[in-house]
Structure 1
Amino acid sequence: MNQTAKNKQVLLIKRPEGLPAPSDFEFKEVEVQQPQEGQVVVKTLYLSVDPYMRGRMNDSKSYVPPYQLNDVIKGGAVGEIVESKSDKYKEGDKVIGMLGWQLFNTVDDNKVTKIDESIAPVSAYLSVLGLTGLTAYFGLLDIGQPKEGETVVVSGAAGSVGMFVGQIAKIKGARVVGIAGTDEKCNYLMQELNFDAAINYKTTENIKQDLEKACPSGVDVYFDNVGGPISDAVMSLLNDHARIPLCGAISSYNSTDGDVGPRIQSQMIKTRSLLKGFVLSDYADRQSEGLQELGKWLSEGKLKYEETVVDGFDNVVEAFLQLFKGANLGKMLVKVSE
């Protein structure tokens, strides 16, 4: 690689209170770290920005450790190896890993995995063939277990997980109702992804009534990406033995006064429903299975995917903040370099 190349990185310098602000982050220019034996230097091509990262900015216990202050933020990234001191990789290989928000990452070779551009473009490995596609696959099929003719409701349905949940549910023969935040997203769900109904939660006068109309036979599976009042409304329509894969609660991620809502215990008992929270790492030993199925459906034209791509490394913080305004259709990505 070019020995004069400079590295640029994004640090978390302050723990956000409520919605993160640009002042919580700092851009810093440093030298590119030279690789040791068994290491590679990865030039970043695309960075993934995801809602779960907001939780890692708090100093609290979770399923992944919190980000440390004055340290580089890490997330999903695809890149190209520009220098290798590893037997496993050569210059020019495209790889994916949990890497820093920086132009170049110098890492041990076991921290990245080679990807195949002949199957799909590299950016697809951060969506349909990556974290979000696999999250939809395992959450829906392992916990939700939709059966032909059942009704599946998806919140955040035009987002990077929700759009795959709905499409996989259709593949399994279910009736699918999506909840999204703009008319354009709802039209996309209906016209492009063949959802059976879509509800704009921002313009509806009564989401519970709209859900009752869209789900005349009740709800058998609710894939929950958002929590909050939307989920409260869905809970009242659960059928007996409903299943609820609990994937996210973006409605409360920036709340400073706690998340208060109806008590659902009696409803869950009455309907004998299952609610199970999960994260993708629960399925670490089955990821090849998920990738094989997702890749097959993609090649058969049964899965579509959308990307909202923000251009330029300097815009990575702004792209992350836009997630909480619902600015993305499908996966939000930052294109760092060609």
Structure 2
Amino acid sequence: MSLVNRQLRLKTRPEGLVRQDNFDLVELPVPELAEGQALVRVLYLSMDPTNRVWMSDIPQYMPPVAIGDTMRGLGLGRVVASRSSHYAEGDLVQGLVGWQDYAVLDEARAKDWVKLPPKPPVSLPTLLGACGFSGITAYYGLTEITPVQPGETLVVSAAAGSVGSIAGQIGKLRGARVVGIAGGPDKCRHLIDDLGFDAAVDYKADDWKEQLKQATPDGVHVNFENVGGPVMRAVMSRMVNGGRVALCGLIANYANGGRPSDDYSVIIVKRLTVRGFLAFDYRDSQKAVQDLIGWVKEGKVKAGETVAEGLENAPTVLNRLFEGTSTGKLVLRVHGE
């Protein structure tokens, strides 16, 4: 009996949050493999803010997903059939598998895929989070983009999320005073009690700007920015002369069609260095992954995931990133092992 591949194909471009009817769920037989190809059964999908960007027809670092195409998405899976000398049945791989049950891997594009240990030392969701692109983003943001130094004050926005939670912990490992910004008292307690942040700011509270001021009495040396909008502007106003900004994301603008503020005068006044970057720039880095796995196994970095279920639920699960209803890395289980 031939395998059936379910695919979520982009039907219309969302306005605001993603709706189920922005996608068609189609079922097709899995195609026969050509020489040099392997078939990957998707196990987990990474739910990332950039998924929402890819749905929009705006200038971005990759072409927007075309109407009618399978939704682009990072994930990991097992090779279940192979006509490639590079991949064997049972291999665990990570790459842009897409929102579907099965992906065809072509060895001509092997550079787009990472072969993982068949029996990894951490859980599969952690390989997409703390020890995957989320962790890699945090790692290089604070070691290469804006290296944070002992005694400096680091502020991390979306600090309870997949990237921010790891960035704050790396900041602590590097000797910084770490202030996290998150939504709600439970997440703020999590930052301090579980992850070891020095202070937390609840951006949903009426007095959040005063909280930020009290948490950064000596100003902000490094801003690891994930949010943009009013949060970014408030942090920038607290930065010391010569401060540095690692611009990782602008999630406040992704789901509402908004644009960042065009008031950049603070960058001039405070002589700030602002550098944008992408985790894809470092996808071949083994050092970051090795360090992150080591820290997780030693208990120096705590990994956390929110695991949702079901390929068909991907559009609404993605919205949890923008609604603030997940903690740590948000992943979607497509198939169990």
The TM-score normalised by the length of structure 1 is 0.94
The aligned counterpart of 2:218 is 217
Matches within 5 A, 1:157-306: 157-202=159-204, 204-256=205-257, 258-259=258-259, 261=261, 263-265=263-265, 267-284=266-283, 287-306=285-304
The CA deviation at 1:260 is 6.1
Task: Say how many residue pairs are matched.
Answer: 332
Which SS does the other structure have where 1:217 is aligned?
A: coil
Q: CA deviation at 1:324?
A: 1.2
Q: Take 1:189 and 1:336, find their aligned partners in 2: how far apart are those partners?
A: 29
Aligned partner letter, 1:212: K
d(CA) in 2 for partners of 1:33, 1:47: 21
- Matched AA of 1:221: V
1:194-246 residue CA offsets vs partner (Å, 9 max, x unmatched): 000111111x2232211110111110011110001111111111012111001
Offset at 1:290? 1.5
Shift of 1:289: 2.2
Maintained 8 Å contact 1:12/1:71: yes
For the residue of structure 2 that corresponds to 1:167, the secondary structure is helix
- Consecutive unaligned residues of structure 2, counting only runs of 5 or more, are none
**Which residue is equivalent to 2:142?**
140
Deviations 1:110-146 (A, max 9, x none): 1432212332122222111211111111112212211
Partner Cα distance (2:270, 2:150) in 1 = 20
Runs of 4+ in 1 over 4 A off after TM superposition: none
Report the equivalent of 1:316: 314
1:42 to 2:40 alignment: yes
Q: Identity, % of aligned pairs? A: 41
The within-5 A match list for 1:119-134 is 119-134=121-136
Q: Is the 8 A contact 1:207 1:230 kept in 2?
A: no
Partners of 2:155 and 2:178 within 8 A in 1: yes
Indicate conservation of the 8 Å contact 1:115/1:122, yes or no: no
Question: C-alpha distance in 1, partners of 2:260/2:138?
Answer: 27
Q: What amino acid is aligned across from residue 22 of structure 2 in structure 1?
A: D
Could you tell me whether the CA contact under 8 Å between 2:209 and 2:234 is conserved in 1? yes
User: 1-side partners of 2:76 and 2:261: how far apart?
Assistant: 39
- Once the two structures are TM-superposed, the CA of residue 87 in structure 1 deviates from its matched residue by 1.4
How has the CA–CA distance of structure 1 residues 231 and 192 changed in structure 2, closer, same or farther, with 3 Å as cutoff?
A: same
C-alpha deviation, 1:85, in angstroms: 0.8
Could you say what the CA RMSD is over the residues aligned between the two structures, in angstroms?
1.5
Structure 2 length normalisation: TM-score? 0.94
Which residue in 1 is equivalent to 2:152?
A: 150
Alignment of 1:5-24 (within 5 A): 5-24=3-22
More deviation, 28-37/13-22? 13-22
Q: By how many angstroms is 1:18 displaced?
A: 2.4
SS in 1 for 2:42: strand
- Asked whether the 8 Å contact 1:151–1:221 carries over to 2, the reply is yes
Answer with 143-152 or 84-93: which moved more.
84-93
Q: Which AA in structure 1 matches 2:259?
A: D
Residue by residue over 1:86-105, the C-alpha shift from the partner in whole angstroms, topping out at 9 and shown as x without a partner, is 11222122111111211111
1:164-206 superposed Cα distances (whole Å, 9 cap, x missing partner): 100000000000000011211111110111000111111x223
1:77 is aligned to 2:75? yes
CA–CA distance in structure 2, aligned partners of residues 123 and 115 of structure 1: 13
CA positional deviation for 1:304: 0.9
Rounded Cα–Cα distance in structure 2 between residues aligned with 1:15 and 1:260: 21
